[in-house]
């Protein structure tokens, strides 16, 4: 099972991080001293370590020596400075989280890491849920409307804004748009704006020149440059810093940009597809999304329905994910007789991602060929059995 270790002296903050990790599907351990963390790292496999940046910098070698595996590290900091660009890259962190925004910034990282865990352990294509982007699983009315909209707008070059709750499959929608378009042979590059620190996102988007900041020992292409004439998918656009939203708006309007520290004007022909799990109007009111950028992106909005509104699709998806595991592991496991009832009773706040992880965890925990749904999120539904 994926396991997150949280090392933090702030017990309240550690508990909040643990709750977020558990909601995604992790088992979580909390320690408050380095020696306790080292003992855990020596005794069990850890999917990721969450630790204060200052503590990690001072004890990095000791921490890495305590485990034989590659250890993804998410660091916490109270500051927000451009000087962290070089430190983040030098330390090889998978994420640098500002404590004031820990809940907003850490959830996307947890989702990425848990998908990587299952993908590596069971050779699964977790990022796309094992589904063909041209052939989603589901025949409900909301999904048929989604298929119709994707097919129509894919043939154009207009910007698209995908709106949907976390876990509904917004990246799959973006990929399907790309593969059904005339750009299908070009690059499709996804960038999660909520999983990249504010200090690094400018360099990620636009690239940088050698010597443009401390640690930039060579020039680097950004996502706009790498996308060329393909599709650039900007997920969780409302988590992008306000100043970067201004620069993105200018690129959308002019098609031009410069690398960080550069003087040469570059041109992009990439199609922009953006997504958010927030209500765009509320995001504008909360200063999370610039209104002018919203109207520039919202040429064609696509709404991805939550799983709770998709009826029998829930059962079809569960069967698909179980079959995926059976195929990969060469088994013939099947659901327990009451599984469908349990599935339909649950509201699935984590949507398709929660359902997929629930099926995968239940498959792993099944001792025989009968799979009983054991998802943590189904506890309330099970109480009524």
Sequence-distant (6+) residues with CB within 8 A of 381 are: 342, 345, 346
Per residue in 197-250, pLDDT (tens digit) is 777 788 889 998 988 876 677 888 999 999 989 999 999 999 999 999 999 999
Domain check: are 181 and 256 in the same one? yes
Same domain as 379, residue 261 = no
- pTM given for the model: 0.72
Q: With contact defined as beta carbons under 8 Å apart, do 264 and 307 qualify?
A: no
Residues 221 and 370 in one domain: no
Spatial contact of 86 and 57, defined as CB atoms under 8 Å apart: no
Burial letters 153-190, b for 16+ CB under 10 A, else e: bbeeeebbbbbbbbbbbbbbbbbbbbbbbebeebebbb
Segment among 65-69, 155-159, 272-276 with least mean pLDDT: 65-69
* Mean pLDDT rounded to a whole number for the chain: 86
Confidence at residue 87, expressed as pLDDT on a 0 to 100 scale: 63
370 in any annotated domain: yes
Q: Would you mind telling me the total number of residues written for the chain in this entry? A: 385
Do 45 and 149 sit in the same domain of this protein? no
Same domain, 171 and 274: yes
Least confident segment among 8-12, 48-52, 194-198:
194-198
Q: Give me the CATH number covering residue 31.
A: 3.40.50.2300
What was the pLDDT predicted at 196? Answer: 78
- The kind and range of the H/E element at 52 are strand 48-52
- 230/320 same-domain check: no
What sign for the dihedral angle of Cα 238, 176, 202, 108? positive
Q: Is residue 210 part of a domain?
A: yes
End-of-domain residue from the set 75, 103, 131 = 103
Q: In a 3-state reduction of DSSP, which class is residue 249?
A: helix
What pLDDT does residue 315 have? 95
Do both 44 and 182 map to the same domain? no
Q: Tell me the DSSP string of 104-148.
A: HHHHHHHHHHHHHHHHHHHT--GGGTT-BTTB-S--SHHHHHHHH
User: Same domain, yes or no, for 182 and 279?
Assistant: yes
- The rounded distance, in Å, linking the Cα atoms of 185 and 312 is 34
220-243 burial, b for 16+ CB within 10 Å, e for fewer? bebbbbebeebbbbbbbbbbbeee
The CA distance from 31 to 35, in Å, is 9
Q: Which pLDDT band holds residue 194 (cuts at 50, 70, 90)?
A: confident
3-state secondary structure of 159: coil
Judgement on whether residues 224 and 166 belong to the same structural domain of the protein: yes
The structure tokens listed for 281 are 């109007």
- Tokens found for residue 358: 């629930």
Pair 271, 288 in one domain: yes
* 163 plus 265 within the same structural domain: yes
Query: What is the residue range of 315's domain?
Result: 310-383
For residue 53, give every residue at least 6 positions away whose Cβ sits within 8 Å of its Cβ, in sequence order, or none: 75, 76, 77, 87, 96
In this model, does residue 131 exceed pLDDT 70? no
Of 304, 335, 359, the residue that ends a domain is 304
Give CA–CA dist 55/220, Å, rounded.
Answer: 30
8-state DSSP, 208: B
């Amino acid at each position: 099972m994926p396991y997150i270790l949280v090392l933090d002296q702030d017990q309240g903050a550690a508990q909040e991080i643990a709750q977020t990790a558990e909601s995604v599907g992790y088992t979580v351990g909390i320690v408050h001293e380095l020696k306790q963390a080292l003992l855990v790292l020596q005794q069990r496999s850890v999917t990721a370590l969450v630790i204060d940046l200052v503590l990690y910098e001072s004890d990095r070698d000791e921490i890495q020596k305590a485990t034989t595996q590659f250890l993804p590290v998410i660091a916490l900091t109270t500051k927000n400075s451009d000087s962290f660009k070089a430190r983040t890259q030098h330390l090889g962190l998978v994420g640098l989280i500002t404590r004031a925004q820990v809940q907003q910034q850490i959830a996307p990282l947890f989702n990425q890491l848990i998908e990587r865990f299952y993908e590596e352990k069971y050779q699964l294509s977790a990022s796309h849920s094992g589904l063909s982007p041209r052939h989603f699983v589901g025949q409900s009315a909301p999904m048929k409307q989604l298929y119709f909209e994707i097919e129509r707008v894919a043939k154009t070059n207009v910007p698209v804004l995908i709106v949907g709750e976390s876990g509904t499959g917004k990246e799959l929608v973006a990929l399907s748009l790309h593969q059904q378009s005339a750009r299908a042979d070009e690059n499709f590059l996804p960038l999660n704006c909520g999983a990249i620190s504010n200090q690094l996102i400018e360099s990620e988007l636009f690239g940088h020149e050698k010597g443009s900041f401390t640690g930039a020992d060579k020039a680097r292409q950004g996502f706009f440059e790498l996308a060329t004439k393909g599709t650039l998918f900007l997920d969780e656009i409302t988590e992008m810093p306000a100043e970067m939203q201004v620069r993105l708006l200018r690129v959308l309007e002019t098609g031009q940009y410069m690398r960080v520290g550069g003087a040469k004007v570059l041109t992009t022909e990439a199609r922009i597809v953006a997504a958010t799990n927030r209500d765009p109007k509320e995001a504008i009111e909360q200063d999370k999304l610039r209104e002018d950028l919203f109207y520039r992106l919202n040429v064609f909005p696509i709404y991805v329905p939550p799983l709770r509104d998709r009826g029998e699709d829930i059962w079809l998806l569960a069967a698909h994910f179980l079959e995926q595991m059976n195929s990969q592991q060469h088994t013939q496991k099947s659901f327990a007789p009451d599984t469908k009832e349990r599935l339909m009773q649950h509201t699935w706040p984590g949507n398709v991602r929660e359902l997929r992880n629930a099926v995968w965890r239940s498959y792993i925990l099944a001792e025989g060929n009968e799979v009983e749904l054991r998802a943590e999120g189904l506890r309330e539904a099970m109480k009524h059995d």
